[in-house]
Chain A
Amino acid sequence: MNAAVQHLPILQVMLPLLGAVIVAFLQNARAAFALTAAISWTMPFIAGALLWQVMESGPISYHLGGWAPPWGIEYRVDLLNGFVLLLISAVGAVIMPAARPAIDFEIDAQRQPRFYCMFLLCLAGLLGVTATGDAFNAFVFLEISSLSTYVLIALGPDRRALLASYRYLIVGTIGATFYVIGVGLLYLATGTLNMADLTVRIGMAWGEHSRAVITALGFITVGIGLKLALFPLHAWLPNAYTYAPSWVTVFLSASATKVAVYLLVRFYFSVFGPAIDLDLQPVASFIVALSVAAMFLASISAVFEANLKRMLAYSSVAQIGYITLGIGLGNQAGMTGGLVHIVNHGIMKAALFLAATAVVLRVRTMRITELAGIGRKMPWTIAAFSIAGFGLIGTPGTTGFISKWYLVLGAIERGWWALAFLIVASSLISLVYVGRFLELAWRREPLAEVANAADPPASILFPLLVLAAATIYFGIDPSLTAGVAGKAAEALLGMAR
């Protein structure tokens, strides 16, 4: 028992990785699903145990193969990544039941085992990036998750999925290359790849190799920025989210970009921040400017979007802007807002895309104008969509409000009043695009296209309602989300000073 607890960090990553290998050899779609579900339902328990352990007794360090860092690979779980691990594994577990009907609908049976294999690989990759304390190991897992994501997107029902996947492949590969160049530069300058060790050694190498270190910072920022769809590096995202199988979008929207954000935070605040006596303010201001641009421009794109999934995808770009904004603010309240929005947005967007999945399943169209009156036909689905939509707007009583609260507070504490107003103003744009759809869905007479629609089977509806309920619950009692995010922000800022 004790031994198992000791190995939790590696189990978190190895279980889905091994599962993927087994699933790859399965011929039966049902068996593949069963194994995948079993593994993804185990994940949140491991992540929960890890986070609990961290909260009880501080960060966990796990030495892979017994090799002590910095020579061996270290897995290091603290509040920040414990939190992200829990988000990814919990969302994966909650939406798992929906996979069967959704995947049955979009992917033919003999390709399904491969699909589940890719999903498990992707899960393993994302959890690996998050858990590892080694910069190069993070690259490896980033590539595992990216490669499997390309396949997952390409499995989309439409041939346009291939193009979307190809485009993401090009951009993603450039991103990974930039990242690995950055890590390579750091290795040349310091001779280490372990993040904690990097922190120490970058400080030592700073005098001699300051230009290499700054170049590395730039490469890593751009590389991860591509992965997290930091505006204006987001061009791959809308198509990828639109044409991927619906259920894949649900999972990716809650996890892939979030992991990239995590990695950026890790490099900024745990590696570079404490190591070098460099004024990061210009970088922070730059990120704030990009974030504000994302919040406005992507939201405006969402307003003019005719396809529901693309609208939600553009909204994701805007919402990622909120997360990076909080990081750019770099004070306690702002960081808390950015970090808590990783989770809050993950929950809301998963709910929204899952509702969209249910709609696709019933009416086979994503054109918003053709969905008039859908609320009367699929009341529970659209009710859940509405709740999550209110979350995007940031109405009080939803998770979105919590994020907005901390971000505005962070801006005010910095004395940036204009920014505070920009934050609330941008949320009004989301009122326009969410409100437009809700008015259409609820207040119009149903069209012929949706006449036969009905709420989806329980396997989709139940996860959907769970996510909607979570949107409200964490909006009223955020002690779990904002509480942990606040402590994580404190730890990060404490390290950086």
Chain B
Amino acid sequence: MSALSSPEHLLLLAVAVPFLGALAIPLFHNHPNLREGVTLVTAITLCLLVLRLLATMTAGARPKVALVEFGPTWSLGFALEPLGAIFALVASSLWIVNAIYSIGYMRAHREPRQTGFYVCFAIALGSTIGVAFARDLFTLFLFYEALTLSTYPLVTHKADAEAMRAGRLYLGLLLGTSMLLFLPAIIATFAISGTLEFTPGGSISGRIGSVGIGLLLALYVFGIGKAAMMPVHFWLPAAMVAPTPVSALLHAVAVVKAGVFCIVKIVVYVFGIETLAASNAAGWLIYAASASLILASLIALTRDNLKARLAYSTVGQLAYVVLGAALANSTGIIGSGLQLATHAAAKITLFFCAGAIYVAHHKTEISELSGIGRRMPVTMFAFLIGSLSIIGLPPFGGLWSKWTLTMGALDAGNLFVAGVLMVSSLLSLAYLLPVVARAFFLPPTEPSEALVQGRIAEAPVSCLIALCLTALLCIALFFGAGRVEMILQDLFPDLTDTH
């Protein structure tokens, strides 16, 4: 038993558990309750395992395992480090909520092929955990691609012409960028440094000039299409044809988060922030990310479809994470990590609300939402909380990520970035709050609805529970951000010494 609970085994187990769940789910094809039970148990087990790992990590353990090792070239292996642990915690905890939500959503909609849906979901989560704990670039890439492939059936779940088109775009852009740019970047990294393993302080430092670093960084940033940096963001708005739990998976739990996580991880462990800062090779990325941030927010303003607006909001919010990495200082990186967590909680709330509105009233456009706050008060209140967290107001988690990122910008002496952060907060206020205002303060547009006014018609209970939980999480993160920050500070040992 003691051998089984060694940190190394826990690490392997954490990666294996979702895949085992994926194997078990089809066994209960004819018993939907048991089947969803399996998903829930798997998600909870995974979350507990990750918490346990987090505890061992704060106690100072840094377990490392390899399943397969092939010469000096690569290994299939896992290692525990703060960034990955936070990402795994975000993904695994939100999976539980998402599973609760899915049950209500998928059944209320009488969606076909639900067993396949839950299987793919579990595989996607397993791949996410694999990305989070990857010990080297090969393992990272393997699970990155597995995540793309396993989410493809989810995106095309509807299987109509529009879904197939979106699916082709999704697969084409994500696989395309990863093979065309990400893979050559990985191989070039190997050719330069002779290793693929993530090394604290960076593996390529001192082996390549600053132009080379800039180019390599560009290959990574645009090769990791999941990070949805403009101009490789098209897949994300297109993928909103997917059922809402899948949108939540894409936007909050796993996919885009895996993208920005990979960028931050590569910046920290392949380039090394000192190298990056010294070579000044990430300067262009600050501007590219800022442009992506502002442009996406502006586009979000013009979208009437609620999910499309949220999708562009995600593109903008992801650019925050990239921006934090591009600042190439420890505060910026910690801000990125915080943003990863707080944005996940806020954006999943917003998507849950959008899905709840769709389930209860079949409305997708913002212009149709007038007065809906009176019929779905809980949902719209949760939407308000999520919005405020995205904007970055107290007492919600989003405040701290924006705060820390601004601090990082000031540390870097970059007032431009600080300005961009302010502007984008205002923009997000401009595209999110009108939705809430319209829902609560405008009268319903259709007369038939005026007749049933005042009667509450919320989404199924499990959807409500889920979105309340994530809204609470937004608040909890306001108070708990300090702990997350402490964990992330372990990334920079010299930083914790001085504190």
Mask of B459-497 contacts with A, CB within 8 angstroms, 1/0: 000000000000000000000000000000000000000
B146 with A482: CB separation less than 8 A = no
Report the count of interface residues on B (CB-CB < 8 A).
28
Q: With A409-B190, A412-B187, A439-B164 as given contacts, are A396 and B142 in contact (CB-CB < 8 Å)? A: yes
Closest partner residue, chain B, to A390 (CB atom): B149
Q: Are the C-beta atoms of B71 and A483 separated by less than 8 Å? A: yes
A479 engages B183 (CB within 8 Å): no
| B55 at interface, CB cutoff 8 A | no
Select A439's contact among B70, B138, B168, B180, beta carbons within 8 Å. B168
Interface flag for A205 (CB, 8 Å): no
Complex interface: chain B residues within 8 A of A478 (CB): 70
Q: Is the interface of A mostly helix, strand, loop or mixed?
A: helix
| Inter-chain contacts of A476 with B (CB < 8 A) | 68, 76
Taking the closest CB of chain B, its distance from the CB of A291, in whole angstroms, is 18
Does A443 contact B187, Cβ atoms closer than 8 Å? Answer: no
Minimum Cβ distance to chain B for residue A254 (Å): 24
B149 engages A409 (CB within 8 Å): no
Q: A397 contacts B146, CB within 8 Å?
A: yes
A262 at the interface (CB under 8 A from B): no
B-contact 0/1 string along A437-461, CB 8 Å cutoff: 0010011100000000000000000
- Which A residues from 146 to 199 make CB contacts under 8 A with B? none
Known: A428-B179, A439-B164. A477 touches B187 (CB 8 A): no
Cross-interface CB contact of B191 among A393, A396, A409, cutoff 8 Å? A409
Q: A409-B187, A409-B191 are in contact. Are A396 and B70 (CB under 8 A)?
A: no
A365: shortest Cβ distance to chain B, in Å? 23
Contacts of B183 in A (CB 8 A): 404, 408, 424
Beta-carbon contact of B188 and A412 below 8 Å: yes
A278 at interface, CB cutoff 8 A: no
CB of A435 within 8 Å of the partner chain: yes
Give B152-163 as 1s and 0s: 1 = Cβ < 8 Å from A's Cβ atoms. 010010010000
In the complex, what's the smallest C-beta–C-beta distance from A296 to chain B, in angstroms?
14
Find the A residue at minimum CB distance from B68.
Answer: A477
Q: What sequence of 0s and 1s flags, for each residue 382-412 of chain A, a beta carbon within 8 Å of any chain B beta carbon?
A: 0000000010011111000000110011001
B175 touching A431, Cβ below 8 Å: yes
A421:B180 contact, CB within 8 angstroms: yes
A427 CB–B CB distance under 8 Å:
yes
Asked whether B159 lies within 8 Å of A443 as measured between CB atoms, the reply is yes
Does A420 make an interface contact (CB < 8 A)?
yes
Known A424-B184, A431-B175; judge A443-B68 contact (CB<8 A): no
Are A425 and B172 within 8 A (Cβ)?
Answer: no
Q: Do B141 and A405 touch across chains, with their CB atoms under 8 A apart?
A: no
CB of A403, distance to nearest CB on chain B (Å): 13
Report if A143 contacts B (CB, 8 A): no
Residues in A with CB closer than 8 Å to B176 are: 428, 431
Interface residue ranges of B49-86 to A (CB < 8 Å)? 68, 70-71, 76
Inter-chain CA distance A425–B141, complex, in Å, is: 17
Known: A421-B180, A431-B176, A439-B164. A395 touches B149 (CB 8 A): yes
User: What's the Cα separation between A421 and B71 when bound, in Å?
Assistant: 26
Q: How far is the CB of A393 from chain B (nearest CB, A)?
A: 8
Q: Pick the contact of A425 from B142, B168, B180 — CB < 8 Å?
A: B180
A477, B76: Cα distance in complex, Å: 9
At the interface, yes or no: B171 with Cβ under 8 Å from chain A?
A: yes
User: Would A479 and B179 be within 8 Å (CB), given that A397-B145, A424-B184 are in contact?
Assistant: no
CB distance from B175 to the nearest CB of A (A): 6
Please report the C-alpha to C-alpha distance between residue A443 and residue B183 in the assembled complex, in whole angstroms.
28
B167 lies within 8 A of chain A by Cβ: yes
Whole-angstrom distance between the Cβ of B390 and the nearest chain A Cβ:
34
Checking B141, B142, B149, B179 against A424 with a beta-carbon cut-off of 8 angstroms, the contacting residue is: B179
B138→A396 contact, CB < 8 A:
yes
Q: List B contacts of A490 (CB < 8 A).
A: none
Is the CB–CB distance between B187 and A420 below 8 Å?
Answer: yes
- B126-172 CB contacts (< 8 Å) to partner A: 138, 141-142, 145-146, 149, 153, 156, 159, 164, 167-168, 171-172
Q: Is the CB of B187 within 8 A of A482?
A: no
Q: How many residues of A contact B (CB 8 A)?
A: 30
A residues less than 8 Å from B145 (CB atoms): 395-397
Q: How far is the CA of A483 from the CA of B70 in the complex (A)?
A: 9
* A220 to B288 alpha-carbon distance, docked (Å): 54
Instruction: Chain B residues near A370: list those with CB within 8 A.
Output: none
In contact, A394 and B179 (Cβ under 8 angstroms)? yes
Whether B172 pairs with A431 at a CB distance below 8 angstroms is yes
A408 contact set on B, CB distance < 8 A:
183-184, 187
Contact between B188 and A424, CB atoms less than 8 A apart: no
Say yes or no: B71 contacts A479, CB within 8 Å.
Answer: yes
Q: Which of A261-320 contact B (CB under 8 A)?
A: none
Q: Knowing A428-B176, A428-B179, A478-B70 are in contact, say whether A443-B188 is a contact too (CB < 8 A).
A: no
Tell me the bound Cα distance from A412 to B68 in angstroms. 26
| A106 close to B (CB within 8 Å) | no
**Is B187 a contact partner of A397 (Cβ separation < 8 A)?**
no
Task: Find out whether the CB atom of A397 lies under 8 angstroms from the CB atom of B142.
Answer: yes
CB pair A479 B70 closer than 8 Å = yes
Q: Are B184 and A482 in contact (CB under 8 A)?
A: no
Q: Which of B19-76 contact A (CB under 8 A)?
A: 68, 70-71, 76
Q: Which residues of B contact A442 (CB under 8 A)?
A: 153
CB of B494, distance to nearest CB on chain A (Å):
34
CB neighbours (8 Å) of A428 from chain B are 175-176, 179-180
In the complex, chain A residues whose CB is within 8 Å of the CB of B71: 479, 483
Residues of A within 8 A of B167 (CB): 439, 443
**Within 8 Å CB of A412, what residues of B?**
184, 187-188, 191
CA distance A444 to B156 in the complex (A): 11
A263 nearest CB across to chain B (Å): 29
Given contacts A412-B191, A477-B68, contact A443 B179 (CB under 8 A): no
How far is B156's CA from A435's CA once the two chains are assembled, in angstroms? 14
Is B70 a contact of A477 with CB atoms below 8 Å?
yes
Chain A residue with Cβ nearest B188: A412
A443 touches B175 (CB 8 A): no
With both chains docked as a complex, state the minimum distance between the C-beta of A236 and any C-beta of chain B, in angstroms.
31
Q: Complex formed: what's the CA distance from A405 to B186 in Å?
A: 10
Q: 1/0 per position for A366-394, CB-CB distance to B under 8 A?
A: 00000000000000000000000010011
Q: Of A390, A396, A420, A421, which is within 8 A of B141 by CB? A: A396
Cα(A428)–Cα(B176), bound, Å: 6
User: Can you name the residue of chain B whose Cβ is closest to the Cβ of A394?
Assistant: B179
Contact of B187 among A390, A405, A479 (CB under 8 A): A405
Once bound together, how far apart are the Cα atoms of A405 and B222, in whole Å?
A: 20
Distance in angstroms from A294 CB to nearest chain B CB is 19
CA of A396 to CA of B75 in the docked complex: distance in angstroms?
12
What is the 8 Å Cβ interface bit string for chain A, positions 330-355, against chain B (1 contact, 0 not)? Answer: 00000000000000000000000000
Q: How far is the CA of A427 from the CA of B175 in the complex (A)?
A: 10
Q: A408-B184, A443-B164, A479-B70 are in contact. List 13 more A-B contacts (CB 8 A).
A: A395-B175, A396-B138, A396-B141, A396-B142, A408-B187, A412-B188, A420-B184, A428-B179, A431-B176, A435-B168, A443-B159, A444-B159, A482-B70
Q: Which residues of B contact A (CB under 8 A)?
A: 68, 70-71, 76, 138, 141-142, 145-146, 149, 153, 156, 159, 164, 167-168, 171-172, 175-176, 179-180, 183-184, 187-188, 190-191
Give 30 CB contacts A-B under 8 Å.
A390-B149, A393-B179, A395-B145, A395-B175, A396-B142, A397-B142, A397-B145, A409-B187, A412-B184, A413-B191, A420-B184, A420-B187, A421-B184, A424-B180, A424-B183, A428-B175, A428-B180, A431-B175, A431-B179, A435-B168, A435-B171, A435-B172, A439-B167, A443-B153, A443-B159, A444-B159, A476-B76, A477-B76, A478-B70, A482-B70
A-B pairs, top 4 by smallest CB distance, nearest first, are: A396-B142, A477-B68, A408-B187, A412-B191
